[in-house]
Amino acid sequence: MPVEKLENLLNRNETGELGEIVGRAAEFARLTEALAAALPEDLREGLIAASVRPDGELVVIGRSPAWAARLRYEGTALLEAARQNGEQATNLRVRVSQQTT
């Protein structure tokens, strides 16, 4: 791969090929942190990640089925926190992480 192409690929600003991916990852991290802050302290560790789909669906990933069930009960707070973070969240979907660790 030419050096110029590699430099462009690895450029972390919005002009690099990975810029959009890096930006979206940062948005997901900010949203996840905002949602975690809105949860009771004992539930925060159960939240792995969150994103909002173009149709307004807030997708929250829980550590396990038990954590996912607990997060579902906080649906109103999660949706409100997403809206306060500038997202147009209209409904909630809680998923379970596929991590095996």
Structure tokens at 51: 């994103």
pLDDT in tens, 34-71: 999 999 999 999 999 999 999 999 999 999 999 999 99
pTM: 0.79
State the DSSP code for 45. G
Report the chain's C-alpha Rg in angstroms: 16
CA atoms within 13 A on the CB side of 58: 27
pLDDT at residue number 10: 56
Residue 1's pLDDT band, with cuts at 50, 70 and 90, is: very low
Q: Is 17 helix (H, G, I), strand (E, B) or coil?
A: coil
Q: Go through the domains of the chain in sequence order and give each one's CATH number.
A: 3-96 (3.30.300)
pLDDT at residue number 58: 97
